[in-house]
Amino acid sequence: MLSRVAESIYWMSRYVERAENVARFIAVNLNLSMDLASEGHQQWLPLVTTTGDDKLFYELYDAPTKRNVLEFLTFDRNNPNSILSALINARENARSIREVISAEMWEHLNNFYLMVKDVGRAGGVSEEQLVFYEQIRASGQHFIGITDATMTHGEGWHFGQCGRFMERADKTSRILDVKYYILLPSPQHVGTPFDELQWSALLRSASAFEMYRQRYGRINPANIVNFLVLDKEFPRAILHCLSRANDSLHAITGSDPEGFSNLPEQRLGQLRASLAFTSAEDIVNRGMHEFVDDMQRRVNAVGGALSNTFFTRHAEAA
Amino acid sequence: MQQQTSMERVNGVSEYDVGDFYDEMFAHDASPRDNCNLLYKRVIGLTTLDLHRRKMAAERSMVRLGITFNVYGDEEGTERIIPFDILPRIIDADEWKWVTDGLKQRIVALNMFIDDVYGDQKILKDKAIPEHVVRSASSFRPQCVGLKPPKGVWCHITGTDLVRDQDGKFYVLEDNLRCPSGVSYVLQNRQLMKQAFPDLFESLSVRPVDDYCGQLLDALNYLAEDRAETPTVGVLTPGVYNSAYFEHSFLAQQMGVDLVEGRDLVVQDKKVYMRTTKGLSKIDVLYRRIDDDFIDPRVFREDSLLGVPGLIEAYQAGNIALANAPGTGIADDKVIYAYVPQIIKYYLGEDPILPNVPTYVCWDDKQRDHVLNNLHNFVVKPANESGGYGMLIGPRSTREEQAKFADLIKANPRNYIAQPTLSLSRAPVIIEDRLEGRHVDLRPFIIYGRDVFVLPGGLTRVALKKGSLVVNSSQGGGSKDTWVVEELP
């Protein structure tokens, strides 16, 4: 497979996953803000922090009002991580590899982009905002389904899987990081309905609420960390994401799943192993933020190694 | 059931004005031509609202499917669809047979000409066409002299533009022998038409166009069959910002081959390789959609970033086949075009089946004087432009424009030809709630591989602006599906 094509599939998948994640955060927060309105606890800045773009936000807007944050995260082309920017990037990547992906994938992604663009052009989201973000989330998930059902599960598909799961691992870690900070400094709320509401919101941000309930029943912070970081079977848990990325990486190279044949495989293997042999208690004791920080650095390092190994156009002619 | 008033119906066709033109659908008494009867009956049964709705549905599909072309220099929304009119243009099979014969004859002769020009140059030595005309063509590539393309074919893919005059007779307007575009629209238009008029396809036997990509792949494979058991084929594109990117991607997809850019390729030991995730992988045939000038910076334009350094050397060594071969542009220089009838006669000893539009070449003193004295009657074209750029349309031009062109011609007579303004045929087009006649041309596509294959029909381009003669999509033209109808129903 052409290096350029592999790279485009990888980024196409990452960007769709990114758009979907941002939409999910927003939808959850819109919901939450309705419950919290009476308490005067509306918070919109954490959403920006989740995507890691606080600095850029303050360059472009003066205050983290609901309206500003929604604009910044949804339609602002100056924000490379806004939903619209992510979809433009996903679509541009898809457009450059239309001959490799299925017609259904392209058509869906093109429509997905047109849908968001049209709402933006028509003046942004208004009354039906929740529906709009649910639509984006659903479109992102449809894309995954269509990809799974129509694209040969060969090398290209595996690059897409790598992109999707790396992005998802990163986003789950960010959700934990930000929410942990919001939740931690309010001991007066511990055990109150307000506390429960916020932890539930965190789970919903990762589409993990029902699955968590099935597994653990009651809301409990240590169990939530366990579920979102270390669960082997939940598809948005960090360890699960890294394992799936690892599977695809080995499928691409054909190397022994227990060993490694190149730098990304080595780095990813090490990261997985260190997660597999830790526990929620270890993480909380060590410090959630420190853990997440380290995690993101290492996920990025895997991404860098992946790019150098497969996408960089080496072997120049003499 | 809603009652339809006669006002809503298209049988307001009685208001359709054929005008003083050959109309593709209606005879001069406004009755439908024989082969259009069924279409006419079908359409007449629809309300204009219904027709309009079907047209909008087809155009929405095009947006949804991303069937677009890129507009250069357009900032907001650089992708556009080519407006699509859902009334097909019908050509009957007998007439098409004659067109096909004419096109085959022309392509065979033009290939012999290109091969000769870069080979023994017999035609020049025999003075069948003036040597200086060939030598002075900006599309002449001295680098290609002595090249022997695989199987002796230079131009594998041609899109020849045909027009009908007032008398309904076809003329060749120009040959596009470099990277002709549009075939993807023919194939996509047909898909859209099947959605718009499924029942018509059941009752008319319309010749299918679906095997174009299969024919193209066969022709490309054929070029490397001596060197590779299963040749690796690729489509070489300048990239997503090229106006015809959709087509490049579509053709690669339909053939199931790699779509490559210059940066994906590297030449080592005079062989061409693709950069893949598993290292370098050899490629045997390129359907290139990058112009000669940009294809290899070592041989042509040094500043090109689109091409592949060393590609031509690999080609000369016989390690890669290029379709179309570099240098084919010599045969679509518009001055050379004027000599195609002589070229056919010289190589095949036959009279041309399809006539040229009468053409004056301005390097000839007598012809130039005639052109300069009658600029208001002529269409003047530069020898080496495409897309309808840089033309003078005499009858529509101002005195200033004519003076400007007179200067241009005097300064560089070799670069200009002039043709009488043809009264191009028209076809009915859906304009809001009625049908109006618009000028059309036709671009059939020809593949020269083991044999010569002519795609039945081709791209009918429509000048959407009332009265306009400019059909190019870059200038706002639209398109229609073209049906070669096998037999009269």
Q: How far is A152 from chain B (nearest CA, A)?
A: 13
Residue whose token pair is 């592999």: A6
Q: Give the tens place of pLDDT for each residue, B133-143.
A: 999 999 999 99
Q: How confident is the model at residue B305 (pLDDT cuts 50, 70, 90)?
A: confident
| Beta-strand pair B416-420/B392-393 | unpaired
Burial letters for B312-336: b for 16+ Cβ neighbours within 10 Å, e otherwise? bbbbbeebbbbbbbbbbbbbbbbbb
Predicted pLDDT of residue A184: 52
CB atoms B266 and A318 under 8 Å:
no
Distance of CA A195 to the CA centre of its chain: 24
Indicate whether B160 belongs to any domain: yes
Q: Give the tens place of pLDDT for each residue, A109-160.
A: 999 999 999 998 888 777 678 899 999 999 999 999 999 999 999 999 999 9
The residue in chain A having the minimum alpha-carbon distance to the alpha carbon of residue B259 is A99
Predicted pLDDT of residue A37: 63
- Choose, out of B263, B275, B286, the residue to mutate when testing the contact with A (most A CBs < 10 Å): B275
Q: What is the CB neighbour count within 10 angstroms for residue B64?
A: 13
Indicate whether B200 belongs to any domain: no
**B288, B380: one domain:** no
Chain B residues closer than 8 Å to A3 by CB: 264, 275-277
**CA A140/CA A16 separation, integer angstroms:** 6
Is A95 an interface residue toward B (CB < 8 Å)? yes
Chain A residues closer than 8 Å to B250 by CB: 98-99
The residue in chain B having the minimum alpha-carbon distance to the alpha carbon of residue A95 is B240
Indicate whether B66 belongs to any domain: no
What is the tally of structural domains in chain B? 2
Average pLDDT of every residue of chain B: 90
Indicate whether B216 belongs to any domain: yes
**CA B147/CA B320 separation, integer angstroms:** 13
Check whether A313 has a pLDDT greater than 60.
Answer: no
Is B309 an interface residue toward A (CB < 8 Å)? yes
Contact A309, A264 (CB under 8 A): yes
Q: Which residues 146-205 on chain A approach chain B with CB closer than 8 angstroms? A: 155, 159
Q: How confident is the model at residue A318 (pLDDT cuts 50, 70, 90)?
A: very low
Query: In chain A, what percentage of residues exceed pLDDT 90?
Result: 62
**B338, B394: one domain:** no
Is A34 an interface residue toward B (CB < 8 Å)? no
Q: Which of B387, B403, B420 is the last residue of a domain?
A: B420
The CATH number of the domain holding residue B258 is 3.40.50.11290
**B114, B153: one domain:** yes
Check whether A257 has a pLDDT greater than 50.
Answer: yes
**B216, B297: one domain:** yes
Is A317 an interface residue toward B (CB < 8 Å)? yes
**B128, B219: one domain:** yes
Distance of CA B230 to the CA centre of its chain: 30
**B265, B375: one domain:** no
Indicate whether B435 belongs to any domain: no
Q: How confident is the model at residue A205 (pLDDT cuts 50, 70, 90)?
A: confident
Q: Which of B348, B375, B409 is the last residue of a domain?
A: B348
Check whether A208 has a pLDDT greater than 60.
Answer: yes
Is B431 an interface residue toward A (CB < 8 Å)? no
Q: How many CB pairs under 8 A join A and B?
A: 73
**CA A228/CA A176 separation, integer angstroms:** 8
Q: How far is A243 from chain B (nearest CA, A)?
A: 21
The residue in chain B having the minimum alpha-carbon distance to the alpha carbon of residue A6 is B277
**CA B17/CA B370 separation, integer angstroms:** 35
The pTM (predicted TM-score) of the whole model is 0.87
- Hey, what are B179's tokens? 């990277």
What percentage of chain A's residues is helix, strand, coil (to nearest 5)? 75, 0, 25
- Hey, what are A109's tokens? 């992604």
- Hey, what are B465's tokens? 């602006």
CB nearest to B280's CB, from A106, A111, A315: A315
CB nearest to A4's CB, from B253, B264, B280: B264
CA-CA distances (angstroms) from residue B93 to A150, B38, B97? 39, 16, 6
CB nearest to A313's CB, from B245, B260, B263: B263
Check whether B223 has a pLDDT greater than 60.
Answer: yes
Chain B residues closer than 8 Å to A305 by CB: none
Predicted pLDDT of residue A180: 64
B174-B179-B181 Cα angle (round to 5): 80
| Beta-strand pair B285-288/B233-236 | parallel
Averaged over B307-320, what is the pLDDT? 95
- Hey, what are B108's tokens? 């065979």
Residue whose token pair is 């939450």: A32
Q: How confident is the model at residue A275 (pLDDT cuts 50, 70, 90)?
A: very high
Indicate whether B489 belongs to any domain: no
Q: What is the CB neighbour count within 10 angstroms for residue B311?
A: 28
Q: Give the tens place of pLDDT for each residue, A277-298.
A: 999 888 888 888 889 889 999 9
**B384, B246: one domain:** no
Is B222 an interface residue toward A (CB < 8 Å)? no
The residue in chain B having the minimum alpha-carbon distance to the alpha carbon of residue A310 is B277
**CA A295/CA A172 separation, integer angstroms:** 11
Check whether B4 has a pLDDT greater than 50.
Answer: no
CB nearest to B252's CB, from A99, A114, A317: A99
**CA B360/CA B378 separation, integer angstroms:** 10
CB atoms B261 and A3 under 8 Å:
no
- A246 cis-preceded (ω within 30 degrees of 0): no
Q: How far is B257 from chain A (nearest CA, A)?
A: 8
Q: B288 is in which domain, residue-wise?
A: 94-168+206-348
Burial letters for A25-55: b for 16+ Cβ neighbours within 10 Å, e otherwise? bbbbbbbbeeebeeeebeebbbbbbbbebee
CB nearest to A317's CB, from B66, B235, B267: B267
Of B442 and B17, which is predicted with more confidence? Answer: B442
The residue in chain B having the minimum alpha-carbon distance to the alpha carbon of residue A314 is B275
Indicate whether B29 belongs to any domain: no
Indicate whether B235 belongs to any domain: yes
**B153, B271: one domain:** yes
The residue in chain B having the minimum alpha-carbon distance to the alpha carbon of residue A102 is B253
Check whether B46 has a pLDDT greater than 90.
Answer: no
CA-CA distances (angstroms) from residue A107 to A91, A147, B67, B182? 10, 12, 10, 21
Check whether A316 has a pLDDT greater than 70.
Answer: no
CA-CA distances (angstroms) from residue A78 to A75, A124, A126, A132, A216? 9, 16, 21, 21, 41
DSSP state of B298: T
Q: How confident is the model at residue A41 (pLDDT cuts 50, 70, 90)?
A: low
In the structure, how many helices (H) and strands (E) does chain A have?
15, 0
**B304, B398: one domain:** no
**B154, B294: one domain:** yes
The CATH number of the domain holding residue B393 is 3.30.1490.270
Contact B473, B461 (CB under 8 A): yes
The residue in chain A having the minimum alpha-carbon distance to the alpha carbon of residue B68 is A95
Check whether A189 has a pLDDT greater than 80.
Answer: no
| Beta-strand pair B459-462/B434-443 | antiparallel
Contact A1, A311 (CB under 8 A): no
Of B48 and B210, which is predicted with more confidence? Answer: B210
Closest CA to B469 of B430, B425, B428: B425
CA-CA distances (angstroms) from residue B166 to B213, B376, B378, B421? 34, 20, 16, 11
**B242, B335: one domain:** yes
**B121, B216: one domain:** yes
Predicted pLDDT of residue B78: 64
